[in-house]
Amino acid sequence: MHTLEDVDKHKLPQHVAVIMDGNGRWAKQRGKLRVFGHENGVEAVRRTVENCAKLQISYLTLYAFSTENWNRPKVEVETLMKLLVASLRKELKTLHKNNIRLNTIGNIESLPSKAQKELTEVITKTANNSGMTLTLALSYGSREEIKSAVKDIAFKVKNNIISPENIDEAVINTHLYTHFLPDVDLLIRTSGEQRISNFLLWQIAYAELYFIDVFWPDFSEHHLVEAILSYQNRERRFGKTSEQLN
């Protein structure tokens, strides 16, 4: 079984993004409520953050709550928000100690005020950390993000702040929630589902995709390493030919 030591430190993905899926099914398999799966999902979050920091990954982005997740039963949404607040309180010291900086993407204003307050506190306290940037996607939807970028740019065009001929990819990037992040290099999705579910659609244009048939609460160091080793064995051509790369 591979461990963190087997990863080539010179060929790391700069930005790893994860769709953490399968908490509910993990709990169901054990005859428990879905909430039990989310509680154990938090442990997998802690493990993954710690392992990515140890590997010196620069950016880790986790899909923690989508815009569509608001449609789940009220009690499940409340539990997820409570878990978020409790985890932020509990992990602030560890994040700080490991030089990790926290950030968010998504419609943060739609979160309960307690969650917003806790997030602001951790984001402010870790703002000067220079190790890994951990980004939580909360109330996040990629189409919503793109729509809001288009609106902002259109408004600036209308007010003669930008001229249409100057709209390029860089301008679009600066209007996305992710303006402080590089493109995703490796996107991992757990639980065996092979879809993107409205996550970072613009930012994964050239990402390597890795789908693994393991529910999120069981995602371990070994699974993370397998994903990175798979990434390291792929040839990223960005539209060029193999010969051009060599």
Catalytically active residues are 21, 69
Near ligand FPP in 153-212, by CB under 6 A: 191
Task: Please tell me the chain's helix, strand, coil percentages from 3-state DSSP, rounded to the nearest 5.
Answer: 50, 15, 35
CA 187 – CA 237 distance, rounded (Å) = 17
In the numeric block, which tokens belong to residue 175?
A: 């209007």
Q: Which of 16, 18, 21, 102 binds ligand FPP (CB under 6 A)?
A: 21
- Contact between 23 and ligand FPP by CB under 6 A: the answer reads yes
| CB nearer ligand FPP, residue 63 or residue 231 | 63
| CB nearer ligand FPP, residue 87 or residue 203 | 87
Q: Which of 7, 16, 35, 84 binds ligand FPP (CB under 6 A)?
A: 84
Q: Which residues are annotated as a binding site for substrate?
A: 22-26, 34, 38, 66-68, 70, 72, 189, 195-197
Which residues lie across from 134 on neighbouring strands? 60, 102
State which amino acid sits at residue 61: T
**From 61-69, 121-129, 166-174, 234-242, span contacting ligand FPP (CB under 6 A):** 61-69
Cβ 86 to ligand FPP, closest distance in Å? 8
In the numeric block, which tokens belong to residue 207?
A: 């990402």
Three-class secondary structure of residue 15 per DSSP:
strand
Torsions phi, psi for 9 (to 5 deg):
-70, -15
| DSSP label at residue 165 | G
Q: Which of 48, 67, 87, 103 binds ligand FPP (CB under 6 A)?
A: 87
Torsions phi, psi for 46 (to 5 deg):
-60, -50
Which residues lie across from 104 on neighbouring strands? 136
Q: Which of 22, 104, 139, 225 binds ligand FPP (CB under 6 A)?
A: 22
- Contact between 69 and ligand FPP by CB under 6 A: the answer reads yes
CA 87 from centroid of its chain's CA atoms: 16
Residues that bind ligand FPP (CB under 6 A): 20-25, 38, 41-42, 45, 62, 64, 69, 80, 83-84, 87, 136, 191, 216
